[in-house]
A = this chain, B = another copy of it.
């Protein structure tokens, strides 16, 4: 297997860095090939801006989606973006690893998504008809590939549980798992989340290391999150409503999007 880890933490001596090394070593021990995009080490540019689109005329208004489509189709995006797109095509498994900052990913990783997920590459592909609404949510560029999150959280696991005040961790991560990974076609694996990471002692790290190794050993076999695919009958087209006979009419939240 070929695994790409996109990694976002500014400190090489951090827990996140140690966990990344654990994952890399375990994956390599299993015979997989691994590449790491260490965004801070690469001095990744976070902000989409005009300079991302060399073909864009100075006088032309920047419409991000249009400009990225033109740039992608002409193979004229910037070198850093093209290199990441090549890695995504190379990998059959993607891991996004990051500390949970304000209940989502750090800016630098969001900037990787914003810039690398060009129109024509990760979205804006496929036909629209009365039977299909583009290649997305289970279809798309990365169909057949697997992806998962490795996340560290300073807070307590209880605070992220079903009735915990922060909201359930799976719901907090839904915009990423469903909106960023499932959207362009990835099969999404359950997230690996470490809690109370600010207070981790040596025994705590050792336990965490074991758990992460085990998750890396099952990366090819673990059952994915069973998100409903868009174009296979569960959703009405073009309103994209879940079919009335699926789930209770009173159901709320993200969980109705799992079959």
Contacts and interface: CB of A to CB of B under 8 A. Distances in A.
A15 B47 CA distance: 18
Interface string A94-105: 000001011111
A159 B102 contact: no
A79 interface: no
Contacts of A13: 61
A107 B102 contact: no
Majority secondary structure of chain A interface residues (helix, strand, loop or mixed): loop
A240 B62 contact: no
A109 B108 CA distance: 11
A237 to B, nearest CB: 10
A182 to B, nearest CB: 10
Contacts of A251: 163
Interface string A223-259: 0000000100001001111100001000111111100
A240 B46 contact: no
Contact of A47 (B46, B241, B254): B46
Given A46-B47, A47-B40, A180-B103, A256 B163 contact: yes
A85 B99 CA distance: 23
A66 to B, nearest CB: 9
Contacts of A102: 110, 113-114, 117, 175, 179-180
Contact of A175 (B10, B11, B172, B257): B172
A108 B257 contact: no
B107 A111 contact: yes
For A110, A166, A230, which residue has the most chain B Cβ atoms within 10 angstroms?
A: A110
A141 interface: no
A47 B108 contact: yes
B198 A65 contact: yes
Contact of A154 (B14, B47, B65): B65
B162 A252 contact: yes
Contacts of A163: 241-242, 247, 251, 256
A47 to B, nearest CB: 5
Interface of A: 10-11, 13-14, 40, 44, 46-50, 61-65, 99, 101-108, 110-111, 113-114, 117, 137, 154, 156, 158-159, 161-168, 171-172, 174-175, 178-180, 198, 230, 235, 238-242, 247, 251-257
CB-based closest 7 A-B pairs: A253-B253, A107-B111, A103-B179, A46-B46, A103-B175, A11-B62, A107-B110
